[in-house]
Amino acid sequence: MSAGEEKENMKQHLIILGLIICLFFGTGLVTAQEAGTLSFTILPGLDAKGTIKAANMTSAELLNADGLVVTTATVATNTAKFNLSGLTIGDYFIRINGLSDDLVPTRINDATVSINQYVGAKLRLSIIGNISDPAYKIATFSKGQGEHPSVRYPDGVNVAPESYAYIILSMKESPQILEIRSLGTGSELNTYSPGEANHPDSSTWTNKSFSDWILSADNHATNYNGTDSQCNMCHIDMDTIPATLVDIKLDNGWCYRCHYGKEGFDSGFIDTTAVVTPVETMAVQQTPAPTATPKAPAFEALFAIGALLIAMLVSRRYI
């Protein structure tokens, strides 16, 4: 092949390469950057206890951890649809009908993936994912429902500034992870991961899963029902308040592990970051931060690369 033919052949290949870059990234990968959608639906009856807050949905806003509105949903037939474009991973809060004291938490692990979430009309219980096989179960203990603020340990004094809790249970983790966070900011108050998948048998039920023990209609509070004998065969001392968080044991003050004693959430959830005297915090399994999905380079930048390559060919007189 002559030098002229080689030059012509190189020219053709480089032109084709530049055009492929422009075409491929300008059409194919733009689709990968499209935003996901959060479809948020009210299902009356999903939550049992409390006051109905939103029998009908007229507006829905998505707030970040700073309380700022990051996107507003389109609402139709009690379903809000949020465009997740530009959002980062983490916990956000849905404000229905302007009810700032009854925020509903949601979790976004990938803003390019569409997700479904359902909440009861009392805005207390919520699930993310498939109704029969959810990824997350969420319960809120809000000011709007008259719940107790979060408290510090060991004296049970309300934390300042005032904070209310929500719990989020990761159903797809093994073992499952229970997180207790601050409603409206998402800051972690406490976390717990069980050593076993099921709670040991009690006098009133057999082989309950951890998720049912925590969040089902027949949860551990129902099982206890103010009767020490239901639980003290294992949780022997439920009244003593251990001196520090790390002193809490299965048989000594176990109720204080999450909330302030055997009165349950009616006495407030423990904020392990707000203690009277700084002490070593409890050694618990932390929830690993979700890994962000790598995003394809922006269309404009990739198009410019292809155009630059073609311009280079012109400057070198290959074209």
Structural domain boundaries enclosing 17: 3-30+296-315
- Is residue 259 situated within a structural domain? no
Write down the pLDDT at residue 284: 45
The tokens for 255 are 């109720």
- Is residue 125 situated within a structural domain? no
Write down the pLDDT at residue 206: 74
Cβ contacts of 65 within 8 Å, gap of 6 or more: 90, 91, 92, 184, 185, 186, 187
Write down the pLDDT at residue 156: 97
- Is residue 207 situated within a structural domain? no
Which of these, 121, 165, 126, lies nearest to 39 by C-alpha position?
126
How many domains would you assign to the chain?
1
Write down the pLDDT at residue 146: 97
- Is residue 18 situated within a structural domain? yes
- Is residue 180 situated within a structural domain? no
Query: Could you read off the pLDDT tens digit of each residue along the chain, which spans 319 residues?
Result: 565 666 566 656 555 555 555 554 555 444 456 899 999 999 998 998 899 999 999 999 999 999 999 999 999 999 999 999 999 999 999 999 999 999 999 999 999 999 999 999 999 999 999 999 999 999 999 999 999 999 999 999 999 999 999 999 999 998 899 999 999 999 999 999 987 877 877 766 677 888 888 887 788 887 788 888 888 888 899 899 999 999 999 999 999 999 999 999 999 999 999 988 654 545 444 444 444 444 444 445 555 555 555 555 445 554 4
Task: Please provide the size of the chain in residues.
Answer: 319
Residue 317 gets the label, from left (phi > 0), alpha (psi -120 to 50) or beta, of left
Q: Pairing relation of β-strands 115-119 and 125-129?
A: antiparallel
115 in Cβ contact with 128 (< 8 Å): yes
- Is residue 306 situated within a structural domain? yes
Pairwise CA distance, residues 7 & 36, whole Å: 47
- Is residue 164 situated within a structural domain? no
89 in Cβ contact with 109 (< 8 Å): yes
Write down the pLDDT at residue 10: 61
* pTM over 0.75, yes/no: yes
Backbone angles phi, psi at 259, to 5 degrees: -125, 170
Write down the pLDDT at residue 16: 58
Write down the pLDDT at residue 11: 59
- Is residue 162 situated within a structural domain? no
